[in-house]
Structure 1
Amino acid sequence: MQRRFDQLDDVWPAGLGRRLGAMLYDGLLVLAIWIVITALHLAVVRLVLEVPAEQVGLGLAQVLSLRLLMAVSAFLFFAHFWTRGGMTLGMQAWRLRVQTLDGCSITSFQALQRFLVAGVSLAAFGLGYLWILFDDEKRSWPDIVSGTRVVVLPKRR
């Protein structure tokens, strides 16, 4: 269920610098999650499937299953925070919030759109995020495709 945010008149579009700061912070959190997932995956491969140490990571099934787990875990991390309060932990540190154009929390489908287009934006040498510098409303490709926007919240008094 979408919730309507308050302070809609006090927010402004987020610039590239703040977004990159939040992305770095969140990237470190996702990296920590990936380390745990990789350790668990390794434990399953070695202990449950009884694959010899020299065979770990050589099979296509092992590689694809780990990559799938990493992609799904990254999506679940972002989708969980974006759909609930509009802010990941990195976004909280930089006072950013993702919301719909009318000031509500985003849907799971919008989170999926943002996540997939963010990957394309980064794969295109960051062009999808550099787009913020040229867009009048400071929108990135994920913002445009998903019909959302990232805003800066005012400081608490």
Structure 2
Amino acid sequence: MPSKPKTASKTPPADTPAYEGPPGVFKRIAVIVYDAFLLFAVLFVATLIPAYFISPESFVANPATDSVVHELDIPLQGWIYRIYLLLLIIIFYSWFWRKSGQTLGMQAWRIKLESTDGGKPSWKQCIVRVIVAGVSLAAGGLGYWWIWIDRDRRSWHDRASNTVLRTIPKAKKKA
């Protein structure tokens, strides 16, 4: 009697991580909040640098007047400053996504960003994703709520950038 041919194993190779389904809305919002703390710190330091060079006298205490400066100089209120901060936000997210597919919040919540083909997202995909995510938030989070009606559970910025978020399963504890 001839033996049955062996079928290929359906388990992925050891170096390929097994992913769970895409994360839900509330997990994505938790990542946004987590990342917002780090981003706030980055933007705070990024504001101090030009502020110091534009008006270093604001950083020196004046014991005669004992006053505190409550306003930014005019150059730190204009459109150039806003573009500077926007570029920093784009670089912040794009750098993390290109490096490892995860921001700090995504690492904490076990979420990874990938291109739809399974590879690392390109710079273009990252930039498009950040911009469309901003539009999604500005529209009252509608781009995020969209995953409740999308058949693939992808948000506006997932679709626009041709990327996908994947949930990484918890590592099993060794006894």
- Place the TM-score, normalised by the shorter chain, in its bin: 0.7 to 0.9
- The structure with the largest helix share of the pair is 1
Which residue in 1 is equivalent to 2:157?
Answer: 142
Q: Which amino acid aligns with 1:84?
A: K
> Match for residue 24 of structure 1?
33
2:114 aligns with 99
Find 1:72's aligned residue among 63, 87, 96.
Answer: 87
How many Å apart are 1:62 and its aligned residue?
4.9
What 5-or-longer segments of structure 2 have no aligned partner? 1-14, 58-68
> Are residues 1:90 and 2:99 paired?
no
Q: Which residue of 2 aligns with 1:6?
A: 16
Partner of residue 140, structure 2: 125
Classify 1:138/1:55 alpha carbon distance in 2 versus 1 (closer, same or farther; 3 Å): closer
* SS at structure 2 position matched to 1:12: coil
Name the TM-score, length of structure 2 as normaliser.
Answer: 0.77
Question: With CA pairs under 8 Å and 6+ residues apart, which has the higher RCO, 1 or 2?
Answer: 1
* Residue deviations 1:111-144 (CA, integer Å, cap 9, x gap): 0110110111111111011101111211010000
- Partner amino acid, structure 2, of 1:46: S
Answer with 109-118 or 39-48: which moved more: 39-48
1:64 deviates by 2.2
Instruction: Give the corresponding residue for 2:3.
Output: none
Provide, for residues 65-116 of structure 1, a one-character-per-residue CA deviation record: whole Å limited to 9, x for no partner. 3212211111111001111210000000000001011211100000011011
Calculate the TM-score normalised by the size of structure 1: 0.85
Task: Tell me the distance in 2 between the aligned counterparts of 1:128 and 1:40.
Answer: 34
Alignment length (residue pairs): 147
Aligned to 1:113: 128
Per the alignment, do residues 58 and 154 of structure 1 end up closer, same or farther by CA in structure 2, a change over 3 Å counting? same
Unaligned stretches of 5+ in structure 1? none
**7, 30, 34: which one pairs with 2:43?**
34
Aligned alpha-carbon RMSD (Å): 2.0
Corresponding residue of 1:45: 54
Larger Rg: 1 or 2? 2
